Structure 1
Amino acid sequence: MIFCPFLLFLWIIGISPCVLPNHCDVALTKEDVRCNCSSKALTHIPTDCPSNTTDLELSDNNLEIISKKAFTKFTQLRYLFLSNCHVTSIDQSAFDNLTHLKELSLLNNPMKTFVGNIFAPLGKLQVLHISYDLLSKYPGESWSDVLHLTNVFTCSEPSNGLFA
């Protein structure tokens, strides 16, 4: 009962927190549904975050491979953070259905390359963070369908100098 005044306060200001079975924290505001699953030693994308999640924080986990249609249920996602997740591979259709995504962070993952057209479903993507990834090349077809991309953050160039 000690937490009741605090929960009431959060509800009054428009934030409704809860904790999911996989220990992800969910915060609801009038405009956003934020599911924070960072640093939970996850090896796969959680399925119990709400389907109307707008911000999904998965950084500092052990995801390694992002499988096809991994984010299918998250059709309202606008922000996706996959930094420091040991990602080595992202399937061609992993980002299908993420048509509202504005920002994607793949910082500090040991990927060697992107599959061609990997970002094609992300028609509204504006910001991409790929700094400190071990990419040997950045295929030109990866960018061809991302019409609204305004910022690509990278602190290292591809090992062979190819940024198509």
Structure 2
Amino acid sequence: MPLLYGVFLLLSFTINVNSVTVGNLCTNTVGTKCDCTYDGAGRLEVNCSKRTLDLVPAGIQPDAVVVDFSDNIITTIELNDFTGLNQLSTLYLQRNLISTIVQGAFDKLYKLSTINLQNNKLTVIQSGSFTYLPNLVSL
């Protein structure tokens, strides 16, 4: 009987994987809790929106494909904010207070295709901020 029950649990879990919430994977080094889910294709989406963040926290999962920092109070995008997010394809930064993007802030994000910066206070975008983004199609 226990084997049959275990098979039932396994089947129940595998059938219901469209959006799996991942517990501690989103607690980063500064202790900010973000919501992580895997979509139906197994891609990690990290949602840090509406957390009153004033900077991009360290420790976001390196396999994240979508990262949402919208509706926070971030003011500057720094050089190493997205280092190591090599799978990142979509980055939501809209509705923050971003005024400055430091040169090289998006370097080595070769898979990044979309950055949403709408409704910010951009005054300084340093030369070369978007140079090494061969797949960028939407800014």
C-alpha separation in 1, matches of 2:14 and 2:75:
35
Q: RMSD in angstroms over aligned alpha carbons? A: 2.0
Unmatched tracts of structure 1, length 5 or more: 129-164
* 1:126 Cα deviation from its structure 2 partner: 0.6
Unmatched tracts of structure 2, length 5 or more: 1-8
* Residue in structure 2 matching 1:67, options 64, 75, 78: 78
8 Å CA contact 1:71, 1:97 repeated in 2: no
Larger RCO of the pair (alpha carbons < 8 Å, separation 6+): 2
Match of 1:55 in 2: 66
What pairs up with 1:73-84 in 2 under 5 angstroms?
A: 73-84=84-95
C-alpha separation in 2, matches of 1:69 and 1:48:
11
**Distance change (3 Å), C-alpha of 1:115 and 1:36:** same
Q: TM-score, normalised by structure 1?
A: 0.67
> Which structure has more helix as a fraction of its residues?
2
* Residue in structure 2 matching 1:28, options 10, 28, 38: 38
C-alpha separation in 1, matches of 2:34 and 2:52:
11
* Number of equivalences: 122
* 1:9 Cα deviation from its structure 2 partner: 6.1
**Distance change (3 Å), C-alpha of 1:127 and 1:117:** same
Amino acid across the alignment from 1:26 = C
8 Å CA contact 1:85, 1:109 repeated in 2: yes
What pairs up with 1:3-152 in 2 under 5 angstroms?
A: 12-19=16-23, 20-21=26-27, 22-29=32-39, 30-128=41-139
Amino acid across the alignment from 2:36 = V
Identity %: 26
Amino acid across the alignment from 1:23 = K
